[in-house]
Amino acid sequence: MTPQSCFMVAAPIAPGQETGLRALLATMNTAPGAVDPNNALVPFARFDRLHVARFVILHDETLDDLRLYGTTFENPPVWLVFLGDCDGPAEAMLAEFAALAGAGLTRIFGHCEGFSRGGDLLAWMQGRSVTPATQYVNWVGRTVRQIREEAALHAALRDRLQRGAAAFEAQSPLEVHRQLAASVRQDGPPLTPPAPTPFPWLASKIGNMIGVPLALLVLLPFFVLGAPFFLWELRRRETSDAVIVPRPAPEHVHSLSVLEDHDVTNQFSAFGIVKPGRFRLWTLLFIFWVLSFSTRQIYTRGRLARVGTIHFARWVFMDDHRRLLFCSNYDGSLDSYMDDFINKVAFGLNLVFSNGVGYPRTKFLLSGGAQEELAFKYFLRRHQVPTQVWYKAYPGLTTADLARNTRIREGLEAQTMIEAEAGRWLAMI
Amino acid sequence: MATPNSEFADIQGLLWSGYGSLKQACFLLLRVTDAAAARAWLRDVSESVATVEQLRREHVGRAMQIALTADGMRALGVASTVIDGFSAEFISGMAGEEGRSRRLGDVAASAPSLWRWGGAQEPHILLMLYAEENLDAWHLQIEAGLGNGLAVLHRLPTTDMGGMEPFGFIDGVSQPRIDWSGERVPGTSADLEYGNLLTAGEFLLGHRNEYGRYTDRPLLDPAQPGAASLVVAEDDPARRDLGRNGSYLVMRELAQDVRGFWRFIAAQAVHDGDRIALAEAMVGRLMSGDALAPTRGQPIRGVGPNELDIARNQFTYDEDRDGLRCPFGAHIRRANPRTGDMPGGRQGLVTRLIRLLGLGHQDLSEDLIATSRFHRILRRGREFGDRIDRQVALRPDAPDPRGGLYFICLNANIARQFEFIQNAWLISAKFDGMSGEADPLLGNREPMPADHRTDGFSMPQPSGVTRRIDGLPAFITVRGGAYFFLPGLRALRYFAAG
């Protein structure tokens, strides 16, 4: 199995360079929201281990909210971030970018502070790499290659079933399965067997599987002792923290919606400020620690809690933990995404985002918050920033498609199968 | 806190009934040409707008309803600070943004640039006239009384097709039921299962919705002109509620290709019985109105006690998980998937917690569809054009009946209700984990990026080999549409006062 990893390069845009950079990034799209996969700057389609990638300018319009928390954010940098998810190590991905798209990336990053055109691009990018606080992969181990092969398999099987429908109707599901399996062995499409799982990755995962619960166990007595104080302080803050949820301006919403719904999958980038003070930050760090454990050990096969529509997501601290970036790639329109958040995982959203400035009022970190439907939707939309360039390697395919195609392949390769299983397998096609 | 049923006199009758007994109907799309004169007219006619109170009290032989677009409010001189209190999608309008048109599937032949009305030239006022008889005379009288404040942009006459839509199916069989007495507490464990009784706030602004919250609407300072005549907002006692007892009315003109529909079906099946069966599979109901999915023994909240309602609506798709009775992509399965808050319905606390954490799923296809209760609409559509039956439609010399439906629905949150249903359920080629097909009746058949097709229809079979039809043509073209606000009577008088 080839594990996925994520890369992110973040650099402040040099003064006076933002407008030019926006114009340059726009040349990578055929229309706003629709990337040209073969664009001249970073021809994403050439990188066959790349799942998704984006360029985002993090220009936060909500910094004034901090005044309601009695503080300010002086001279905030405007960040350019380049991030994505890939098969195999992220370092190798960045090296590939530098090798195959060096000229384009040089033009892009030339708008950032501290970039020297003659210098080593890869070293510069590595120096500005940022690790997320938590990352989520819908299906750990499923490569771009596998996704494409399995989509081709589904199309081929559907086609063969359709063409032979008259003959297949009279046969038992097991017999149909046998014939289809034989036809794939003979005529393809080809299916590459999974690569061996890298040992260091596996070892670190097992270490994490044992280490985190162990650490939690050791810390448990301290948590029990500290809980009353923590809860008292938490409630004090939850009842007094300013809620800032005005309806987002129509122009802002328009700048976002023009980029959306060109494919079945959409991008989401949101930027906000962590509530000032150590209390919220430490709470957040602890939550991310537990969340990372869950996305590494538990939510690795198609679902993040009850939500199954997210391909990749991550939370990243910026500006020395003062700000938080959330990026995801999800199926459906933003409204259905937010409805899923509210109706299925409100508690999860609250755990993280209630530590952000302005979030709707929560109770004990879990309830309230996202359950304030409109306030929550306004909050998310207001903190969302336009994603200038967004690429996905398999347009038209949702996580549900990918999961179904994988199961079809598993069924095809199954050594033993009973009649009922074969029937269900056929129905999936 | 006042329950919705104590305010029947302030609610337009359309919230209570589609005026099924008033077989004649005509919709007028008006534009304001002179604000003061239009307001004077509105003041006069607001006295004759039918209310729920009237419908409950007496026999009503004819009824008038009035709704306004955001453009209409502006044209009447309503302050923009007031209009800004309405929802963003209402202010922007059905065709106001390309992104919205993409989400609604209003592209290609259904693009707003090709519409007969709406879009570039928004109507200002929708005047709905319903009558038992003599509609024409009344209509003429109404138009004569418009004066110099209003001009008729379009007349949308309707046809009584005896409760059928133009393809020949009984229309409007399933409707959500409003909890008028305000007894229902949303969000309890009862909602883990599908229910059909919904809080009034899902359809009427100013009342609690299914989240137990109030949907945003204009709340005015009582010192503002005209505001004193409005009632106090339940969630903000310092301000007056302009939205109270009003509803958003979505109207779309859908041209239906009746000949094309039956001819396509005839090309798939030779025998008339098979043809009907295929059409019924696409709809999800028999032509008689009964559901394809099996009805179940246990009652569903908000269905019945009427026997016909039980026969037609006491079902969910839990009894048809493989889609063998009703295909997953059938129109009514998409339009209302009848899902509860959590798959598996009511369960013990531990099971519930496990499921909440996403750990107890039976298989990957589970839990793909959102919970139904946040995505329901009251449908109030009417047919237009000539009615021809399928035998006639199949004749080579059959004339085009130019039939269709004025799709009309009421809801309190257009984005979460109408737009969500249209986008995530009806025209989505990915509904319930499927691929390659949109709603068999409503889909526009436009391919998605990377040439993924949307013009299929699949019917799971007991043998396992799904029966698949490809190349469905578009049977429906959108020819007009707009978002209106159907105000309560007090709000209507507020608009009239200017």
Interchain CB distance below 8 Å, B465 and A165: yes
All residue ranges of chain B with pLDDT < 70 are 1, 361-364
In chain B, residues with a C-beta closer than 8 Å to the C-beta of A333 are 103, 423-424
* Beta bridge partners of residue A192, listed in sequence order: none
In chain B, residues with a C-beta closer than 8 Å to the C-beta of A336 are 370, 420, 423-424
Which amino acid is residue B100, in one-letter code? R
Interchain CB distance below 8 Å, B464 and A424: yes
Dihedral sign from CA coordinates of B411, B415, B418, B421:
negative
SS (H, E, C) chain B: CCCHHHHHHHCEHHHCCCCCCCCEEEEEEEEECCHHHHHHHHHHHHCCECEHHHHHHCCCCEEEEEEECHHHHHHCCCCHHHHCCCCHHHHHCCCCCHHHHHHHCCCHHHCHHHCCEECCECCCEEEEEEECCCHHHHHHHHHHCCCCCEEEEEEEECECCCCECCCCCECCCCCCEEECCCCCCCCCHHHHCCCCEEEHHHCCCCCECCCCCECCCCEECCCCCCHHHCCEECCEEEEEECCCCCEEEEEEEEEECHHHHHHHHHHHCCCHHHHHHHHHHHHCECCCCCECCCCCCCCCCCCCCCHHHHHHHCCCHHHHCCCCCCCCCCHHHHHCCCCCCCCCCCCCHHHHHHHHCCCCCCCCCCCCCCCHHHCCCEECCEEECCCCCHHHHHCCCCCCCCCEEEEEEEECCCHHHHHHHHHHHHCCCCHHHCCCECCCCCCCCCCEHHHECCECEEECCCCCCCEEECCCCCCEEEEEEEEEEECCHHHHHHHHHC
Give the A:B interface size as CB pairs under 8 Å: 140
Interchain CB distance below 8 Å, B430 and A169: no
Q: Looking at the partner chain, which of B341, B358, B420 has a beta carbon nearest the beta carbon of A299? A: B358
Identify which of A38, A56, A58 has the alpha carbon closest to the alpha carbon of residue A108: A56
A407 in contact with B, Cβ within 8 Å: yes
The pLDDT score that the predictor gives to residue B364 is 67
Residue B268 belongs to a domain: no
Q: Looking at the partner chain, which of B215, B419, B462 has a beta carbon nearest the beta carbon of A335? A: B419
Interchain CB distance below 8 Å, B464 and A333: no
Interchain CB distance below 8 Å, A407 and B420: no
Q: Looking at the partner chain, which of B341, B462, B468 has a beta carbon nearest the beta carbon of A162? A: B468
The pLDDT score that the predictor gives to residue A117 is 85
User: Residue A332: which region, alpha, beta or left (left: phi > 0; alpha: psi -120 to 50)?
Assistant: left
Separation in Å, CA of B461 to nearest CA in chain A: 8
Name the closest residue on chain A to residue B460, using Cα atoms: A427
How many domains, chain B?
Answer: 1
Interchain CB distance below 8 Å, B364 and A407: yes
Interchain CB distance below 8 Å, B430 and A333: no
In chain A, residues with a C-beta closer than 8 Å to the C-beta of B451 are 396
Residue B47 belongs to a domain: yes
DSSP A67: G
The pLDDT score that the predictor gives to residue B445 is 94
The pLDDT score that the predictor gives to residue A9 is 97
Name the closest residue on chain B to residue A176, using Cα atoms: B465
Strand duo A362-363 + A310-318: pairing = unpaired
Q: What interhelical angle do A144-163 and A399-413 show, nearest 10? A: 70
User: Mutating which of B91, B104, B357 best tests the A interface, going by the most A Cβ atoms within 10 A?
Assistant: B357
Interchain CB distance below 8 Å, B364 and A162: no
Q: Looking at the partner chain, which of B102, B357, B467 has a beta carbon nearest the beta carbon of A261? A: B102
Q: Would you state the structure tokens that stand for residue A396, as one six-digit string?
A: 């038209």
Which phi and psi (to 5°) does residue A389 adopt? -135, 135
Query: Which comes out higher in pLDDT, residue B253 or A300?
Result: B253
Which phi and psi (to 5°) does residue A383 adopt? -90, -5
Separation in Å, CA of B335 to nearest CA in chain A: 15
Residue B228 belongs to a domain: yes
A266 in contact with B, Cβ within 8 Å: no
Residue B457 belongs to a domain: no
Instruction: Say what the ipTM of the complex is.
Output: 0.94
Q: Strand, coil or helix: what is A244?
A: coil
Name the closest residue on chain A to residue B453, using Cα atoms: A396
Interchain CB distance below 8 Å, B430 and A332: yes
How far apart CA A255 and CA A387 sit, in angstroms, is 10
The pLDDT score that the predictor gives to residue B179 is 96
Separation in Å, CA of B363 to nearest CA in chain A: 10
Query: Which comes out higher in pLDDT, residue A338 or B364?
Result: A338
| Count of CB atoms situated within 10 Å of the CB of A36 | 17
How far apart CA B171 and CA B273 sit, in angstroms, is 21
The pLDDT score that the predictor gives to residue A364 is 92
Identify each DSSP E strand in A59-179 by its residue range: 79-87, 134-137
Dihedral sign from CA coordinates of A4, A156, B323, A262:
positive
Name the closest residue on chain A to residue B462, using Cα atoms: A423
Separation in Å, CA of A16 to nearest CA in chain B: 31
Identify which of A293, A297, A399, A298 has the alpha carbon closest to the alpha carbon of residue B359: A298
Angstrom CA distances, B248 to B112, B159, B185, B448, stand at 20, 24, 23, 31
Name the closest residue on chain B to residue A35, using Cα atoms: B449
Tell whether the model's pLDDT for residue A419 goes beyond 90: no
B100 in contact with A, Cβ within 8 Å: yes
- Supply the mean pLDDT for chain A: 93
Interchain CB distance below 8 Å, B430 and A307: no
Query: For chain B, what's the residue count?
Result: 498
Separation in Å, CA of A298 to nearest CA in chain B: 9
Interchain CB distance below 8 Å, A262 and B468: no
Interchain CB distance below 8 Å, B423 and A396: no
Q: Strand, coil or helix: what is A28?
A: coil
In chain A, residues with a C-beta closer than 8 Å to the C-beta of B374 are 339, 343
Share of chain B above pLDDT 90, in %: 83
Name the closest residue on chain B to residue A172, using Cα atoms: B463
Interchain CB distance below 8 Å, B424 and A333: yes
Residue A407's H or E segment, with its range, is: helix A399-413
In chain A, residues with a C-beta closer than 8 Å to the C-beta of B415 are 335
B352 in contact with A, Cβ within 8 Å: no
B415 in contact with A, Cβ within 8 Å: yes
Which residue segment(s) compose the domain that B136 sits in? 4-251+481-497
Separation in Å, CA of B88 to nearest CA in chain A: 7
Residue B225 belongs to a domain: yes
Residue B134 belongs to a domain: yes
User: Where does A298-333 have alpha helices with state H?
Assistant: none
Which phi and psi (to 5°) does residue A400 adopt? -65, -40
Residue B194 belongs to a domain: yes
Identify which of B49, B39, B46 has the alpha carbon closest to the alpha carbon of residue B73: B39
Q: What interhelical angle do A173-187 and A399-413 show, nearest 10? A: 90
Interchain CB distance below 8 Å, A304 and B358: yes
Separation in Å, CA of A119 to nearest CA in chain B: 38
Name the closest residue on chain B to residue A170, using Cα atoms: B463
Residue B291 belongs to a domain: no
Peptide bond into A32 cis (omega under 30): no
Give the position of tokens 């906000």.
A272
Separation in Å, CA of B68 to nearest CA in chain A: 21
SS3 content of chain A, % helix, strand, coil (to 5): 50, 20, 30
DSSP A164: T
| Surface-to-core class of residue B247, CB atoms within 10 Å of its CB (0-12 exposed, 13-18 middle, 19+ buried) | buried
DSSP A242: P
Which residues have C-beta within 8 Å of that of residue B221, sequence separation ≥ 6?
Answer: B227, B239, B240
Given a contact cutoff of 8 angstroms between Cβ atoms, the answer to whether A387 and A270 are in contact is: no
